[in-house]
């Protein structure tokens, strides 16, 4: 096991009240595994990523739980030790490569920055390494001399991934790396990430709002709603037998380009504000299966086969055990 997240809680503190963006999240990740985190905007998925990488800044505050990465609790680690871990063992690919790359430095200068930060010299060896990681993502080494504005959106995103690979980390965290790309570029980037992952053996945490994007790539899937994990399990199983009503709704909210044309319903209502969460299950006002107890009882995590679900429908157990 390379990463273990236990009872992680993150609050945003504001004069209007405290919003819990990440609410007692638990999961673990093995070396070389591909984990996807899916949810709508404001469900806390990016906050969860930031808290794993210890990149939270006020008003966000980590109020409880631990992040055990390769045996060390990142939450209690001091600044300097964290600095050493980041990028060497764990790197992050941010959402918009336009803003993540420095516009006034060449790509090479930014690669050199990474090397310097980890006490490595800038010599011929490193130039070889730069060319090698760029080749891995399908970019010609001449672009080491390019500036960000000279590259297309897809290429910038690839450069970000190349930079994340520089020190051969064990875990790469990706926050919606494809959201700024069109479908064709999106597919080729996904295929490339998957190939690199299989070749180099790093683990991936991939955050996206598009559940159909990750179905073919990830081993494990986490579905988040209003700060909590509502469903967690093997990707294929969740796609074939979605248990939580929210997951079912998400999966049926995508029109398909194949098969018969049917009128879809989507999910009624809109996601709640984190400062005014409904009591009980946060999804109950939008849920078609809501029962009386849903508005008072916060559902516990219930195992359904290999999948863990936070829904009262499954509380009374084995009857529902779904797959096969």
Partner 1 sequence: MDQIETESASEPILSIRNLSHHFPIGRKIRRAQLHAVDDINLDLYQGEIVALVGESGSGKSTLARLLARVYRPTSGEILFEGRNIARIRSRRDLLSYRSKIPLIFQDPFSSLNPVHSVGHGLLRTLKLHRPELSREERRDTAIATLESVGLSPASEVLNCYPYELSGGQRQRIGFAQAISCNPRLILADEPVSMLDVSVRIGLLNLMTDLRNSGISMLYITHDIASARYVADRLVVMYAGNIVETGPTESVLGNPTHPYTRLLLSAVPDPMVAIKATAGDIGDPPRVIDPGEGCRFRWRCPLAMEICSVVTPPLLPVSEGHAAACHVTVRSVSENL
CA atoms within 13 A on the CB side of 224: 29
CA atoms within 13 A on the CB side of 39: 28
Q: DSSP characters for 228-293?
A: EEEEEEEHHHHHHS--SHHHHHHHTTS--SSS--------SS-PPPGGGPPSSSTTGGG-TT--GG
**Binding span for partner 1 by CB under 8 A among 20-28, 67-75, 259-267, 290-298:** 259-267
Q: Output the smallest distance, CB 65 to partner 1, in A.
A: 27
**Binding span for partner 1 by CB under 8 A among 55-63, 95-103, 114-122, 257-265:** 257-265
> Binding to partner 1 by residue 152, rule CB under 8 A?
yes
- Of the candidates 212, 179, 172, which has an alpha carbon nearest to the alpha carbon of residue 194? 172
Using CB under 8 A, which of 78, 258, 316, 324 touches partner 1? 258
Using CB under 8 A, which of 7, 30, 140, 182 touches partner 1? 182
Q: Residues 6 or more apart from 231 whose CB is under 8 A from it?
A: 221, 222, 223, 238, 242, 243, 244, 246, 247, 307, 308, 309, 310
Give the x-and-dash track for 208-247 against partner 1 (CB under 8 A): -xxxxx-xxx---------------------x--------
Q: Which is nearer to partner 1, 65 or 249 (CB)?
A: 249
Mapping DSSP to helix (H, G, I), strand (E, B) and coil, where does residue 204 land?
strand
- Beta bridge partners, 204, equal 34, 172
> Binding to partner 1 by residue 257, rule CB under 8 A?
yes
Q: Output the smallest distance, CB 268 to partner 1, in A.
A: 8
Interface residues for partner 1 in 47-106 (CB under 8 A)? none
Site size with partner 1, rule: CB under 8 A: 43
Interface positions with partner 1 (CB under 8 A): 40-41, 138, 152-154, 182-188, 190-192, 209-213, 215-217, 239, 249-251, 253-258, 261, 263-268, 270-271
């Amino acid at each position: 096991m390379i990463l273990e997240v236990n009872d992680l809680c993150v609050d945003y503190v504001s004069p209007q009240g405290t919003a819990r963006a990440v609410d007692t999240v638990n999961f673990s990740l093995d070396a070389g595994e591909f984990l996807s985190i899916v949810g709508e905007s404001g469900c806390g998925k990016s906050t969860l990523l930031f808290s794993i990488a210890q990149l939270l800044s006020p008003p966000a505050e980590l109020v409880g739980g631990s992040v055990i990465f390769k045996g060390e609790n990142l939450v209690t680690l001091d600044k300097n030790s964290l600095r050493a871990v980041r990028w060497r063992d764990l790197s992050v690919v941010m959402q918009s490569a336009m803003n993540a790359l420095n516009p006034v430095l060449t790509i090479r200068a930014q690669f050199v920055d990474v090397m310097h930060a980890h006490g490595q010299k800038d010599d011929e060896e490193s130039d070889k390494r730069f060319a090698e990681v760029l080749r891995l993502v399908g970019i010609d080494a001449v672009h080491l001399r390019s500036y960000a504005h000279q590259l297309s959106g897809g290429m910038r995103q690839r450069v970000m991934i190349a930079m994340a690979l520089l020190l051969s980390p064990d875990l790469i965290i990706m926050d919606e790396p494809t959201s700024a790309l069109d479908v064709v570029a999106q597919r080729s980037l996904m295929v490339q990430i998957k190939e690199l992952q299989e070749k180099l053996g790093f683990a991936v945490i991939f955050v996206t709002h598009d559940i159909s994007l990750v179905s073919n790539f990830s081993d494990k899937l986490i579905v988040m709603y209003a700060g909590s994990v509502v469903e967690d399990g093997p990707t294929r199983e969740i796609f074939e037998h979605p248990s939580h009503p929210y997951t079912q709704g998400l999966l049926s909210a995508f029109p398909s380009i194949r098969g018969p044309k049917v009128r879809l319903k989507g999910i009624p209502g809109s996601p709640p504000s984190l400062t005014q969460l409904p009591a009980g299950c946060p999804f109950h006002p939008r849920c078609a299966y809501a029962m009386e107890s849903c508005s008072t009882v916060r559902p516990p995590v219930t195992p359904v086969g290999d999948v863990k679900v936070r829904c009262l429908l499954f509380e009374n157990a084995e009857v529902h055990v779904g797959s096969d």
